[in-house]
Amino acid sequence: MANSENDTIAAISTPVGEGGISIIRISGDDAVKVAQRIYKGKDLAKVATHTINYGHIVDPDTDQEVDEVMVSVMRAPHTYTREDVIEINCHGGLLATNRILQLVLSFGARMAEPGEFTKRAFLNGRLDLSQSEAVMDLIRAKTDKSMKVALNQLDGDLSRLIRNLRQDILDVLAQVEVNIDYPEYDAVEEMTTKLLKEKAEDIQQRIQSLLKTAKQGKVLRDGLATAIIGQPNVGKSSLLNSLLHEDKAIVTNVAGTTRDVIEEYVNVNGVPLKLIDTAGIRDTNDQVEKIGVERSRKALGAADLVLLLIDSSNELTDEDRQLLEATKDKQRIIILNKTDLPRRVDLEELKSLAGKSAVIETSIVNHEGMDQLGEQISNMFFNEGIESNQNNVMVTNARHIGLLHQANDALSDVLKGINDGMPVDLVQIDMTRCWELLGEITGDSYQDELLDQLFSQFCLGK
């Protein structure tokens, strides 16, 4: 049977921050019926909606008990998917969880596709498109801060902002419409053009400031690609270990790639760093690491941020100078390590080679300077380079970013049209296109709606 959009679906949906409890979620018309087949306890068809019921999961074929569970019954329409939803909370570990899912699938539900619960929430009108996407991001969120961005978006901050923009465009279009209706006034044409120009500039500026947040948002989701470099023995492995151990690193196997590709994420003061080439730092003994500088150069290409270590207890070497030169155009922090030992480095020379880059003094073995390093990283990320933005909304989704770019282009066309003295009704077309593109972000761009709204405003205006 082909997957349909209203059959009953099920999946393990254990929340982020997995603990001892797992949840099997079932959604659809038959959700209660399916659960009842494998559940011993109250009659789920009769319990009140939004209740949690104690009982046991029992295999009806063998009468064998699988797990002790709490079953939540939530009837449509006040549920996540707006369908009947059952959630089976079990605590018997992976084996029991899988066994229960199998039972659910044998007694009338089918396996949900990835994101299918959310898709249903969208199709049933529970979430708008950007909110649905925020849920997807939430599932992938890797740090607290990116979690917050996803949650804000879920709250509809981005949707609200986009809707305000669209409303403003609609107001202009309606006003232009009214003006065109009264061609007997000479000044009208000029007024209309002036209004269009002002509004287009204002809206374009707001879109551009949203676009500025895109880079930051992407980093929050994907991690700031960070290279730890420096000559052999300077303390790279020590720094890596210190970051990994002190800041609760998240080590993930990247899905769909070979097993030995490992990305390491570490959360430094709210900034997720994706550490590059850590295998190289981990596994080398220092004999192999004679090629350290070459390796460092390679890691540089992909890096958003460079942490360059210099040994404070030695004079600067040619390798140090080469690395300082090779990274001078990068966002970098220079870490002057081993400050617990007598200083031999020429600080004046180092500072002049460092240019505008911050130099942070550390003694990694003594855990000194790590706080300053963390502050420097978050300061570079949150305060420098990226402007603070309206309402803390960040655009993190590639589709949204693409649409915002197109909307921005449409407004450039509006402004060019006005400058070239194009007739107002032609300029209007580009303005309308901008409105439609923005609507695709929230999923409510329909020509009919434009006409309806224009019509209602037009009448109000008269």
Known binder of ligand: residue 174? no
CB 312 within 8 Å of CB 345 = yes
Interface residues for ligand GDP in 272-311 (CB under 6 A)? 281, 286, 289
Known binder of ligand: residue 255? yes
d(CA 351, CA 357): 9
Question: Which residues, 6+ apart, have CB-to-CB distance to 116 below 8 Å?
Answer: 9, 11
Q: Which amino acid is at 457?
A: Q
Q: Give yes or no for residue 230 binding ligand GDP (CB under 6 A).
A: yes
**Smallest gap, in angstroms, from Cβ of residue 237 to Zn ion?**
4
Which of ligand GDP, Zn ion, none does residue 198 bind (CB under 5 to 8 Å by kind)? Answer: none
Known binder of ligand: residue 257? yes
Interface residues for Zn ion in 207-266 (CB under 5 A)? 237
* Segment interacting with ligand GDP, rule: CB under 6 A, options 113-121, 177-185, 226-234, 378-386: 226-234
Which parts of 4-137 are beta strand (E)?
9-12, 22-27, 39-41, 51-59, 64-74, 85-90, 110-111
Q: Give yes or no for residue 337 binding ligand GDP (CB under 6 A).
A: yes
| The binder of ligand GDP chosen from 219, 234, 334, 393 (CB under 6 A) | 234
Known binder of ligand: residue 279? yes
Q: Where are the alpha helices (DSSP H) in 21-156?
A: 31-37, 93-106, 116-123, 129-140, 144-154
Tokens standing for 39?
């559940």
Handedness of CA 266, 267, 271, 272 (dihedral sign): positive
DSSP, residue by residue, 179-205:
HHH-TTSTHHHHHHHHHHHHHHHHHHH
**Smallest gap, in angstroms, from Cβ of residue 285 to Zn ion?**
8
With DSSP H G I counted as helix, E B as strand and the rest as coil, what are the percentages for the chain, rounded to 5?
50, 20, 30
Which of Zn ion, ligand GDP, none does residue 398 bind (CB under 5 to 8 Å by kind)? Answer: none
Binding track, positions 341-370, relative to ligand GDP; x by CB under 6 A: x---------------------xxx-----
Interface residues for ligand GDP in 365-394 (CB under 6 A)? 365
Which of ligand GDP, Zn ion, none does residue 340 bind (CB under 5 to 8 Å by kind)? Answer: ligand GDP
Choice between 118 and 237, CB closer to Zn ion: 237
Known binder of ligand: residue 439? no
Q: Smallest Cα–Cα separation from 312: which of 355, 278, 362, 354? A: 362
CB 196 within 8 Å of CB 427 = yes
Instruction: Give the binding site for ligand GDP (CB under 6 A).
Output: 230, 232-238, 281, 286, 289, 337-338, 340-341, 363-365
Which residues line the annotated binding site for (6S)-5-formyl-5,6,7,8-tetrahydrofolate?
25, 87, 126, 462
Which residues line the annotated binding site for GTP?
233-238, 252-258, 277-280
Which residues line the annotated binding site?
25, 87, 126, 233-238, 252-258, 277-280, 462
